[in-house]
């Protein structure tokens, strides 16, 4: 009679990294959802690249687990996912070289390869900025790691106001004028431009809405002539 060992429950891990500008100061963030509860990690470097921060996030995540652990790694970086699942075997067969020269970030690639080989890892690509809670949190942690590397204070997370019990208004209150709500305008944006805005906002450590508002204020300050000079690469457009 043969018996089979029960499959290990996989811890779910979200890893993300970014850099602004690229190259420049960057950060990485990790969210671990395991049996022991949620664990969050982050860090950064004052001089790095996007790809190095994405690789570092995956390395820090795997390093948190002992050898033999069952893990599902969820990353929004095709560079990291394809490096591990498609490209590394060929690189190693060629002595960590590609058809055009040495593998970039080779020391990080070799460290990631060793950690991956010692663990049971399922690699899953997730699309960034689509409302995935774990991925969005890892993105914010990466921005926090970048700020810490620059010696800046952590960005304050928005605090949800407590629920206020309903109150029946008095006749006088009903008759009182009501202050108008802030006026807003919805603007349709091309899908491709929307994705570019999301990526730029991520690098800046801002929400897409805050990033767009900042860009509009800059455009208003420049005026039509200033915008034209910027787009043409003339004075003021450097």
Encoded tokens for 4 = 């089979």
**172 is an annotated ligand-binding site residue:** no
Q: Is 17 a catalytic residue?
A: yes
* Residue 16 annotated as part of some ligand binding site: yes
Could you confirm whether 139 is annotated as catalytic? yes
Catalytic pick among 16, 18, 27, 145: 16
Question: Of these residues, 26, 45, 76, 128, which one is catalytic?
Answer: 76
| Marked catalytic residue, from 27, 45, 54, 205 | 54
Find the catalytic residue in 27, 129, 134, 205.
Answer: 129
- The rounded distance, in Å, linking the Cα atoms of 59 and 13 is 12
Q: Is 113 a catalytic residue?
A: no
Smallest Cα–Cα separation from 145: which of 128, 137, 112?
Answer: 137
Catalytic residue among 134, 139, 145, 205, which?
Answer: 139
196 is an active site residue: no
User: Is 129 tagged catalytic?
Assistant: yes
Q: Specify whether 26 is catalytic.
A: no
Distance CA 11, CA 3 (A): 24
Q: What are phi and psi of 227, to 5 degrees?
A: -65, -45
Is 136 annotated among the ligand-binding residues?
no
- Residue numbers belonging to the annotated binding site for Mg(2+): 16, 54, 76, 139
Q: Give the active site residues.
A: 16-17, 54, 76, 129, 139
- Residue numbers belonging to the annotated binding site: 16, 54, 76, 139
């Amino acid at each position: 009679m043969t018996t089979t060992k029960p499959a290990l429950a996989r811890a779910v891990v979200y890893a993300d990294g970014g850099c602004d500008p690229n190259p420049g100061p960057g950060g990485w963030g990790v969210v671990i959802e395991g049996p022991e509860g949620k664990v969050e990690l982050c860090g950064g470097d004052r001089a790095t690249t996007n790809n190095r921060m994405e690789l570092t996030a995956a390395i820090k995540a795997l390093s948190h687990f002992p050898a033999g652990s069952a893990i599902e790694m969820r990353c929004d970086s095709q560079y990291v996912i394809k490096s591990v699942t498609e490209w590394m075997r060929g690189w190693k067969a060629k002595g960590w070289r590609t058809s055009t020269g040495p593998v970039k970030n080779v020391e990080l690639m070799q460290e990631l390869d060793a950690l991956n080989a010692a663990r049971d890892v399922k690699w899953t690509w997730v699309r960034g900025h689509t409302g995935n809670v774990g991925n969005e949190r890892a993105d914010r942690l990466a921005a926090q790691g970048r700020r810490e590397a620059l010696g800046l204070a952590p960005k304050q997370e928005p605090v949800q106001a407590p629920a206020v019990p309903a109150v029946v208004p008095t006749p006088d209150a009903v008759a009182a004028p009501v202050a108008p709500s802030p006026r807003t305008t919805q603007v349709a944006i091309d899908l491709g431009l929307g994705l570019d805005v999301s990526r730029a906002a991520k690098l800046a450590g801002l929400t897409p809405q805050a990033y767009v508002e900042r860009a509009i204020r800059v455009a208003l300050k420049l005026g039509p002539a200033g915008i034209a000079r910027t787009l043409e690469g003339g004075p003021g457009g450097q």
